[in-house]
Structure 1
Amino acid sequence: MAGEGGFEVKVTKEEIVKAAVRTGECMLPLSNLDLLLPPLDFCVFFCYDLGSNNGERRSFGSMVATLKEALEETLVHYHAFSGELTSDSLGQLQLLCNDHGVHFSQAYASVDLRHLNLHMLVPDKQGGVLSVQATELSCGSVIVSCRVDHRVADAYSTNMFLVSWAESARSAPPSVFPSFRRSLLSPRFPLKLDPSLEELYFPLSSVSPLNQPPKSDSDDKIVSRLFYVKAQKVEEIQRLASSEKSGRVTKLEAMSAVLWKLAAKTEQMSGRRKRTMLGVVVDGRTRLAGDDELGSYVGNVLAFPFRGRDTDELVKRPLEWVAREVHAVVKAGAEEEHFMGLIDWIEAHKPKPMTPGLYWVDDGPIVVVSSGRRFPVEEVDFGWGPPVLGSYYYRDWGSEMEYVMPMPSATVEGDWVIYTLLRKRVVDLIVEAAGDVFQPMSSKYLARCGSVC
């Protein structure tokens, strides 16, 4: 098949990888927070520039053998990634841990790493929860990519799995053992129902289908892009977004404020929508008190607060005002009571499926920010060195929601890689108005990493 950059990608082998030890079939219920997610996959990829490594160069075949053997061992502990989603008698999703296995494909791409179109080589998913693809490039470098069903795992859970997989490949002892104890997210009895949650979460039956028809306006098309932001620019934005009155905002809040203003500016220039929305994905593992086991919990522990503001006001107000608004969005979903109330609220509506409102909001365009700052890029070393680039990625996107995920650079401490899924006109404005901050990812970045490809 042809890649998006015009290069050829040929799948050379496909197989199913199963756990090294079969544990038998069991049913694992999804938590209430899992049930909140729509049917959506996310992808993650890592670029390994073997030309910059010192020492003996490994063959692609031996690398694939290491990946598969380590995957077999890792699936013994992460059995959920080897299962299948099914439904109970009420039509509610549950996870059948039956050693269905992981679809593993090998491929070859006729392009070298420096010139690779980064919109990327990610695997198809043929059933199951997880699929993996290892792609050899013409220069000998390798891309390892995964596709995960979001209803089973969030980014935090997937990060744990990836690190464990890499540790197994290096014959290193596991740094963490996963927990699947759903009682960690049990509802309270009696349930405590907060009516304000109905402004953020909706019954699925009340919204339009996830896959919406494409826009006819090419500037309204949603496109994937990667940007590189240097540490100095991140700190400068944080300083500009903070003030003596409101205090110091986080780097993520500051960057979100910049992007919210830019998105509003495109709406003002087009005269289309009077409001522009911002959503933030909040991880609840550090918000929920009590059991430390949540730190190793596999599943979704996410909240999805959002709000809208007048487009003209977002444009004219100073950055520190917008940053305070971002902070208010984060705070709305960061309290322990928000998570516990959300678990109770979903329980009260079972078996009716519920969904985060930000996937469906029609009060204006919405940009959703999810932090990948804990993305363990350097730790995903399978024995041939850490990657020169790693990122999350959405391959199939049917929602009108726009998405941003900042992650740490794999090579320079403090620098960021920012994955964006934005309307083309927003991307164009970012490059035009803030190109000194948001540098489009290019071969120059990979060249700085010492590639000889």
Structure 2
Amino acid sequence: MAAQSSALVFKVHRREPELVRPAKPTPYEVKLLSDIDDQEGLRFHIPVVQFYKHVPSMRGKDPVAVIRRALSETLVPYYPFAGRLREGPNRKLMVECTGEGVLFVEADADVRLTEFGDQLQPPFPCMKELLFDVPGSNAVLHSPLLLIQVTRLKCGSFIFALRLSHCMSDAPGLVQFMSAIGEIARGSHAPSIPPVWERHFLSARSPPRVTHTHREYGQQATIDDNKTMTTMPHNFDSMACSQLSALRRHAPPHLRQSYSRFEILASCLWKCRTVALRPDPEETMRMICLVSMRGKFSYPPLPIGYYGNTFAFAVAEAPAGELCRNPLGYALDLVRKAKGEVTEEYMKSVADLMALTGRPDFLKTRWTYLVSDVTRAGFETVDFGWGSPVYAGPAEPDVGPVPGLANFCIPCKNKKGEDGIVLAISLPTQAMERFVKELESMLKSPPNETKTFTHVMSAL
């Protein structure tokens, strides 16, 4: 397991936050979000950070000025981002396209990029300084939908940090917007992919009709039983291809190559986390995987350029004892089956459920765990003129209002330059020790080894 980021301390000098408005007049109108966008589980802000090296050919160019100008021009076609969210009857969210703009912070830090270490991964030191929480800016309603901070470093490198109202976009939608800023920063007059609003594609039918069972929106449990989870150390495993191959060997031989990388990782995390938490063997454990339907709609197809949320919460369930006792293939089958349930009709059923039931939150209990895969979102492709970032993606290991509930799979390179995935795991200290032990056992033990699982069951 990789160590946490070093206790690097540095000072950041910020100028007063400003509102960057569209460079040209934009329409004043009210645009409804989809019934996938405005569910309770997406009503929060999500932070992203990108680290860019100094490039000699860009000497004399100020990243703050370049990005500020490009942002203003990008907000012309993406003018809903310059508006504010309002709430109507039945908690329906809509964007009032006021053209007020997005928050922008210019900053300088007395630190060099190399001081962050030779392997950039969250949690990053002084992240609150690199993405300043402007007072009064993080509400869902009536607040800026984007907060961007560009921080120059002593070495000529810079850090681009962004906070997005998740109701507006998922990760690919955000990358589309950021890439548009990058294209204009590099000299284009317009984004190569024009933005498409058309949120009605994922709105409830008339009349709404729920055609599937949606376990992800079960009766809401209180978070009281989660009090032991509110303070958690974070640990990260930069998992290289060789380690992924070791985990894959635990799958049934005839299906070994058919499982996706994410299915292997999600199943491994679910199993190891269950072992670490030591629940009652009869307790129902839930794994939630985000399943994107982008590019999978057919009647009609989702337009290219659509930048709203396009995913569903797929739920796999199992008794804790069965999850711990059985080989990894048991969890793999459950995760794959849950993902397979998410179809075009399933998504329409989710939208209808939201409209009929007041837009509930997805199920949150101590025994629920959510993993979001952003390895293919494209954050690493965003280029403002300084080339590809040396780190790109989530700024924090946790996401959402409940600590430890949701974590990311993030693309990275290890110290040897090998492609891998950073896994963010949040657990109480003793549980983290058990998690590490179980994961190491799975990486080292022969396929279908059962001794570890029998031992775990006796400890439950």
* Cα offsets for 1:365-399 (capped at 9, x unmatched): 22211121222234211111211111213477431
1:311 is displaced (CA, Å) by 2.1
**In the alignment, does 2:182 pair up with 1:166?**
yes
Cα separation, partners in 2 of 1:26 and 1:337, compared to 1, 3 Å = same
User: For residue 148 of structure 1, what is the amino acid of its counterpart?
Assistant: L
Task: Summarize the alignment of residues 50-199 of structure 1 with structure 2, pairs less than 5 Å apart.
Answer: 50=54, 53=55, 55-56=56-57, 58-59=59-60, 62-88=62-88, 91-116=91-116, 118=124, 120=127, 121-124=130-133, 126=137, 127-172=143-188, 174-194=191-211, 196-197=213-214, 199=215
Aligned with 1:44 (options 30, 45, 48): 48
Deviates more, 1:384-393 or 1:111-120: 111-120
1:283 is displaced (CA, Å) by 1.2
* Cα offsets for 1:213-272 (capped at 9, x unmatched): 984x5x76234555422233334433433531687211100011111111011122x779
Tell whether the 8 Å contact from 1:84 to 1:95 is kept in structure 2 after alignment: yes
**In the alignment, does 2:307 pair up with 1:298?**
yes
Tell whether the 8 Å contact from 1:238 to 1:255 is kept in structure 2 after alignment: no
User: For residue 305 of structure 1, what is the amino acid of its counterpart?
Assistant: A
User: For residue 348 of structure 1, what is the amino acid of its counterpart?
Assistant: L
Aligned with 2:10 (options 7, 10, 14): 7
Q: Secondary structure at the match of 1:71?
A: helix
Cα separation, partners in 2 of 1:213 and 1:113, compared to 1, 3 Å = farther
1:421 is displaced (CA, Å) by 5.2
Residues of 2 paired with 1:295 and 1:437: CA distance? Answer: 41
Unaligned runs of at least 5 residues, structure 2: 1-5, 117-122, 138-142, 444-460
User: For residue 184 of structure 2, what is the amino acid of its counterpart?
Assistant: S
Tell whether the 8 Å contact from 2:281 to 2:319 is kept in structure 1 after alignment: no
Deviates more, 1:226-235 or 1:403-412: 403-412
Tell whether the 8 Å contact from 1:192 to 1:344 is kept in structure 2 after alignment: yes
User: For residue 170 of structure 1, what is the amino acid of its counterpart?
Assistant: R
Task: Summarize the alignment of residues 316-327 of structure 1 with structure 2, pairs less than 5 Å apart.
Answer: 316-327=325-336
Question: Hey, what does 1:420 align to over in structure 2?
Answer: 424
Question: Hey, what does 2:248 align to over in structure 1?
Answer: 238
Aligned with 1:392 (options 359, 370, 394): 394
Q: Secondary structure at the match of 1:85?
A: strand
Residues of 2 paired with 1:224 and 1:213: CA distance? Answer: 20
1:57 is displaced (CA, Å) by 5.2
* Cα offsets for 1:285-342 (capped at 9, x unmatched): 233223444342121122112233222322221112221121122123x212211111
**In the alignment, does 2:285 pair up with 1:311?**
no
1:147 is displaced (CA, Å) by 0.1
Query: How big is the alpha-carbon RMSD for the aligned residues of Structure 1 and Structure 2?
Result: 3.2
Residues of 2 paired with 1:302 and 1:267: CA distance? Answer: 28
Tell whether the 8 Å contact from 2:217 to 2:362 is kept in structure 1 after alignment: yes
Tell whether the 8 Å contact from 2:281 to 2:322 is kept in structure 1 after alignment: no
1:151 is displaced (CA, Å) by 1.3
Cα separation, partners in 2 of 1:167 and 1:12, compared to 1, 3 Å = same
Residues of 2 paired with 1:437 and 1:240: CA distance? Answer: 8
Residues of 1 paired with 2:110 and 2:157: CA distance? Answer: 11
Aligned with 2:270 (options 260, 271, 274): 260
Cα separation, partners in 2 of 1:28 and 1:336, compared to 1, 3 Å = same
Q: Secondary structure at the match of 2:76?
A: helix
**In the alignment, does 2:342 pair up with 1:338?**
no
Question: Hey, what does 1:18 align to over in structure 2?
Answer: 21
1:178 is displaced (CA, Å) by 1.2
- Normalised by the length of structure 2, the TM-score is 0.81
Question: Hey, what does 1:403 align to over in structure 2?
Answer: 406
Residues of 1 paired with 2:399 and 2:343: CA distance? Answer: 32
Cα separation, partners in 2 of 1:306 and 1:107, compared to 1, 3 Å = same
Question: Hey, what does 1:371 align to over in structure 2?
Answer: 373
Residues of 2 paired with 1:416 and 1:322: CA distance? Answer: 22
Cα separation, partners in 2 of 1:430 and 1:381, compared to 1, 3 Å = farther
Q: Secondary structure at the match of 1:355?
A: coil
Aligned with 2:36 (options 33, 37, 45): 33
Residues of 2 paired with 1:356 and 1:188: CA distance? Answer: 21
Cα separation, partners in 2 of 1:187 and 1:413, compared to 1, 3 Å = farther
Q: Secondary structure at the match of 1:356?
A: coil
- Structure 1: 4+ residue segments shifted above 6 A: 270-273, 410-414, 435-438
Q: Secondary structure at the match of 1:337?
A: helix
* Cα offsets for 1:65-120 (capped at 9, x unmatched): 10001101111111122111112355532111111211111223333323336253
What is the total number of aligned residue pairs between the two structures?
Answer: 417
Cα separation, partners in 2 of 1:242 and 1:372, compared to 1, 3 Å = farther
